[in-house]
Structure 1
Amino acid sequence: MDNLADTLRQFQSGTLGQAEMFARVDRLLASTPESVSNLLKTLNDAHRRAPLPAEVYGEVERRIAQAIEARQRQRVGDEETYVQTKPLQPPTQPAGIAGPPGAAVERMKGVGDTLNGRFVLEECVGFGGMGTVYKALDLRKLEASDRHPYIAIKVLNVQFQGHPKSLIALQREARKAQTLAHPNIVAVYDFDRDGPMVYITMEYLQGKSLSQMLRAPDFHVLPFDEAMKIVSGMGRALAYAHERGFVHCDFKPANVILTETGGVKVIDFGIAR
């Protein structure tokens, strides 16, 4: 039976055409639904061994992401936006941000790399339709002996980074989120870019999403007081946003984080209106 590593290896060696390679990828996604998220790691491992063309990497990544999203939608009624993955390392500069003719293509950064000489990407903690979320060490905070030197960084996925208005869209998301300074809403700090990589920096949350808790095999009905604490936290976050003219257009358990310290945080106001 074909696997993704062999399929990519045959494509890179020239024994498999691009159209057939994509067809095999689609067959693999359809036949291995329970391990589809592991294909992201396989894709990145293959790219590290032999770099794939940017458009090929982006298309394979897009198809895997769509399969993950479809699987989550089927399992939990469209509750899950992000899934845990191994470190993602997008390959090369996408179309739309290319340099002068003949210039070397800039490698996309991933786990182990540093953005703008400040943010060290240590771990991929989430993957969604438009962005990948990393845990990052802020070297400035570390230098200042900050007790909490970690932040979260949301980086636009390869297929969106080439869009000429990607920076504008992310800036608007950051501006909206910065307006919503509330204990029950994730804090967003700023937006920036490093070469082709467009990203937002935000508060790093240790915990799990409400959807992960509800889907856990050992989950049982919550006591009334515990349930009301979560509901009240969500309600306060939404009421605060509504008072300022914002409606969260993707509110669901996956966008509610239950922190290890007992807090409730609503995330992903990126498509708020």
Structure 2
Amino acid sequence: MKFYQLPPGAYPHDVAPAPDGSVWISGQRQGFAGRFDPNTGQLEKIPLGPGAAPHGVIIGPDGNAWLTEGGQNAIARVDARSREVKLFPLPKDFPGANLNTMAFDQNGIAWFTGQGGVYGRVDPRTGKVDAWKAPRGVGPYGITATPAGDVWYASLAGDHIAREAGEPIAALTLEHYPGMAEAEVARHVEAANARWGLLGVTVIHRYGRIEPGENIVLVVTAASHRHDAFAAAEFLMDYLKTRAPFWKSEERTGGARWVEAQQSDDAAADRWAPAPRRSEAAQ
């Protein structure tokens, strides 16, 4: 093993070898991108700007160094030839993202994470930055992309990993047949009443355009025994997700597509095969 001593206070956080044999580092404490030449032992520091505190660094498909620049809440690109620094600030809705790591997908899009509960992407061709709230809140840290186009990240604080299958969803549009949808939901509410002897039930299902993070369904059940209330609520939720006359369209940057029910959802609904009424079962 060979060691390369850096200047005092360099405080390298991440490291990324480049095709030309050089090695790039993120100098977090001093706010620079560093290009280290193993042949000469020289470290070239490229300042990233006031208050800079870079975390992750990778080499992009363009051969340039890309960094998650937490101090300025931006993604930074350092041109490998000119050393020009270009910042791609996050949208104003995501201040203090606590940016961590990056990865490029097969389309040349740069994806990033922020422990503050954010993940996003930068299109180097247009400079457009998209960011989204992580569904489970704070923690997104390490990130990678597969040849198939999936993006995975690990949540350090959330104890989970997550997969973003390509384009994130911008919105859902739920369509229904007025009159028929209400009648079908009411019919299944009556079935739940007959099966579990409910004291009360409320079902609300939204339709129209719904953005990520907004609520879609509410099911509230009441019964003399909690097991009956829980079972009835699960029955109604499984029905609403698979058999109710609603049609779901996912809206993404590249367009919209209709969504079919998943096999796991169908299997969950199938477990509620017709059963005898409570009074019949007791005989």
Normalising by the smaller structure, the TM-score range is under 0.3
TM-score, length-normalised on structure 2? 0.26
Question: Comparing both chains, which one has the higher relative contact order based on Cα–Cα distances under 8 Å and sequence gaps of 6 or more?
Answer: 1
TM-score, length-normalised on structure 1? 0.27
The structure with the greater share of residues assigned to strand is 2
Q: Which has the larger radius of gyration?
A: 2
